[in-house]
Chains A and B, each alone.
Chain A
Amino acid sequence: MNPIIAKAIEEGRYKLLEHESFELLRQYNIPVPDFALVQDVDEALRVVKDIGYPIVLKVVSPDIVHKSDVGGVILNISNDDELRSACERIRSNIKEKAPYARVSGFLVQKMVPEGLETIVGATKDPIFGHVIAFGLGGVLVEVLQDVSFRIVPVSEEDARAMIREIRGYKLFNGYRNMPARDEEAVVYIITRFSELLSDNPNIVEADLNPIIILERGKGAYAADARFIIGIS
């Protein structure tokens, strides 16, 4: 069993922590923004020298499900002063809105440049096993139900077909003044994600949300990830 997942199970957690999710993705060469788990503001100031601004600061806690709802995420921090006050602000937000939550630390994460936001998700179906879903991010996925599915293992060809199947695919080729997007980078992420799922049958649910797709040739990043482990 993957040590990251083994550790979560050992600690009785059904959900991977933010940095664990990123580490798992990294093991499969799925691009994630540079990140570091830190305990305090001084450590944050140290790691940011390597990561570089702008960054996102997130609270890491096994007890908080929706970090943004409790003021646990601050975006677009661009210098040391802002970083100091962001740490302060998150601490006081948590104290006020989730006083009993255990805090494992902060995640310092490089801001990914803007791009086309998509979602790659997975569920585990009793009959078919892992199923991967792909769709555009945000409201579109909800309102239009513009999602395609494939059963793991998903080949490169399958991944390409599932990307092209959604109605919003037109956006990949550029629209008005928006540039064409790096479709092959998403094909790569989906196939690597498929392998990750094949190797780890304990994963019952996963979301890479959002995956930010940059201009053609510039790649794509999983800017956030969530893994749910089935503890049986």
Chain B
Amino acid sequence: MEPQSQVQSGKSVELTITSPLDLLFNPRSVAIIGATPRENSVGGVITKNLLTKFKGKVYLVNPKYDEVNGTKYYKSVLDVQDEVDLCVIAVPAPAVPKVTDECIRKGAKVTIIISGGFSEVGEEGARLEEELKKVALNRIRVLGPNCIGVYNAFNGLDTFFLPEDRMGRPKPGPLALISQSGAVAGAILDWAARRNIGVGLAVNYGNKLDINEAELLEYLAKDSRIKVIVMYMEGLKYPGEGKKLLDVLREVVGIKPVVVYKAGRTKAASGAVKSHTAALAGNYEIYRAMLRQAGVIEADNLTDAFDMAKALATQPLPRGNRVLVITDSGGMGIQSVDALDTRGLQVPELSESLQEILRKQLPPLAVTRNPIDLTGSATDAMYKFVLDTVLPTSYVDMALIIALMQIPGLTINLGNYIVEARRFNKPIVVVSFGGNEYVAKFERHLEESGIPVYHAPHRAAKALWALYEYAKIKGAIRGWVA
């Protein structure tokens, strides 16, 4: 397939060829069918979102209004003079087929149908969904129905109908989210916004009448602003779509990492008891098989997924599994070794000659084997010395740095030293733990400079594991044995 977007300047992405999926995320103009000035209603939040943030043209459609606060309302999308790239539909379900038909006649190529009340509510809704399908089939691409739609931090396209004071919006960034659940998507974005994690694009596909996970993955793989795709999934629904998803995932993983959290695991466990292979192939087991076959990084929960994603988005891939651990706490060092070892990563003892060099500069109580324990008398300069001395050597492939900032010898300047160590082109993750404002400042500084910070050693270890796994998948590890 031809790449359909290209980076023109440093920041903005200009779309040269516009496929319906491009227009879904990057429309030049949007019509909101069911727009309303009523605050905190679904249509109202979307209207406000787009009017205040969207960097493109917005047309409001609702026959009940002519003009509100100087903004024109159209009776029908057909009354709009200009071209409409994307229609966002938020009207009661029974009216959806009719307005969808109008969007088609207007010439829109793609629509986001926010409205619920379709197959998710029973037989009558399913009938309505069939009717909608007949209207839309081969005439317009549909995201939804019954979905929360698209969040695009780059251009302000935001159909998430949760008010800003309830759901924070993350800053633009290299992560993308595909979520089967709209509520979960909203919660994740709120969580990410609070933690200053950049989520550039997020999408929820609801009842999946048309556009599915596989197509969204294909689009996100092509979007050069996105470095890592995080996917929350519960289960597939159509016969045969598993194989298609496997094929697409395999292709996408060759381009950029995909982290998946599959919920609904335990149903499988109960089925996996009998020796009969029919019963052994419990549901989750098949999903897990698919993820492994595709080379997807599987997460155990949502925070786990983002822990790994932010490392994958910011760090280079390691060339091996050996980790340098630097700590100012012996206890945290031991915990890290446990966590790394459990994940199949090594903490190799440093050579005697290298340790000799370290010993000459470090205080007598410091431990130089690896983990390198600088103890409570650690200073910024000691961390810098160890990083600059050991990280560039061929003994280690990546670094896990524990900095408990409660000791007085450490200052915010340590952050600069760690950021400077990026020049060695090896993955670096930091464990920081505490509650005071100084710690928070230190962490923010690192994260903003592209060094992921974790509040527990096992989370940092898992992030390094993800980098190592992806390096294996990309063939960056030599002499790999599965």
Contacts and interface: CB of A to CB of B under 8 A. Distances in A.
B288 A149 contact: yes
Contacts of A207: 277
A222 interface: no
B296 to A, nearest CB: 13
Contact of A142 (B273, B289, B292, B293): B273
B272 A123 contact: no
Interface string A115-147: 000010111011111010101000001100101
B243 A151 contact: yes
Contacts of B273: 142, 145
B286 A161 contact: no
B289 A125 contact: no
Contacts of A127: 236-242, 286
B480 to A, nearest CB: 11
A123 B281 contact: yes
A133 B243 contact: no
A215 interface: no
Q: Which of A129, A148, A151, A158 has the most CB of B within 10 A?
A: A151
Contact of B246 (A123, A151, A161): A151
A19 interface: no
A128 B243 contact: yes
Contact of B292 (A131, A133, A161): A161
Contact of A133 (B236, B238, B281): B281
B280 A129 contact: no
Contacts of A164: 482
Contacts of B290: 128, 151
Contacts of B241: 127
B479 to A, nearest CB: 15
A122 B277 contact: yes
Given A150-B293, A164-B482, A123 B240 contact: no
A121 B277 CA distance: 6
Contacts of A158: 293
Contact of B278 (A129, A135, A205): A205
Interface string B264-301: 00000000111101101100011011101100000000
Interface in A65-100: none
B275 A142 contact: yes
Nearest to A140: B275
B286 A205 contact: no
B280 A133 contact: yes
A131 B286 contact: yes
A151 B293 contact: yes
B242 A129 contact: yes
Interface string A137-177: 00001100101111100100110111011000000000000
A125 B242 contact: yes
A131 B292 CA distance: 13
A141 B242 contact: no
Contacts of A157: 482
Contacts of B236: 127
Contacts of A141: 275, 280
A150 B482 CA distance: 15
Given A127-B241, A129-B243, A141-B275, A147 B280 contact: yes
Given A128-B243, A147-B272, A151-B246, A205 B238 contact: no
A125 B281 contact: yes
Contacts of A126: 239
A121 B243 CA distance: 19
A119 B286 contact: no
B285 A149 contact: yes
Contacts of B272: 145, 147
Contacts of A150: 289, 292-293
Contacts of B280: 121, 133, 135, 141, 145, 147
A142 B288 contact: no
A103 B8 CA distance: 76
Contacts of A205: 277-278
A204 to B, nearest CB: 9
A151 B286 contact: yes
Contacts of B275: 141-142
Contacts of A147: 272, 277, 280, 285
Given A142-B275, A145-B272, A131 B281 contact: yes
Interface string B224-241: 000000000000111111
A133 B239 contact: no
A126 B239 CA distance: 5
Contacts of A119: 277
Nearest to B272: A145
A125 B238 CA distance: 11
B289 A148 contact: yes
The CB with the most chain A CB atoms within 10 A, among B239, B246, B292, is that of B292
A38 to B, nearest CB: 30
Contacts of A121: 277-278, 280-281
A81 to B, nearest CB: 36
Given A127-B236, A131-B289, A161 B482 contact: yes
Given A123-B277, A147-B285, 20 more contacts: A121-B278, A125-B281, A127-B238, A127-B240, A128-B242, A128-B243, A128-B246, A128-B286, A129-B240, A129-B242, A131-B281, A141-B280, A147-B280, A150-B289, A151-B242, A151-B243, A151-B246, A161-B482, A165-B292, A207-B277
30 contacts: A121-B278, A121-B281, A123-B278, A123-B281, A125-B286, A127-B236, A127-B240, A127-B286, A128-B290, A129-B242, A129-B243, A133-B277, A142-B273, A142-B275, A145-B272, A145-B273, A145-B280, A147-B285, A149-B286, A149-B288, A149-B289, A150-B292, A151-B242, A151-B243, A151-B246, A151-B290, A151-B293, A157-B482, A161-B482, A162-B289
Interface of B: 236-243, 246, 272-275, 277-278, 280-281, 285-286, 288-290, 292-293, 482
Q: Which 8 A-B pairs have the closest CB atoms?
A: A121-B277, A128-B242, A149-B289, A127-B242, A142-B275, A123-B281, A133-B277, A127-B236
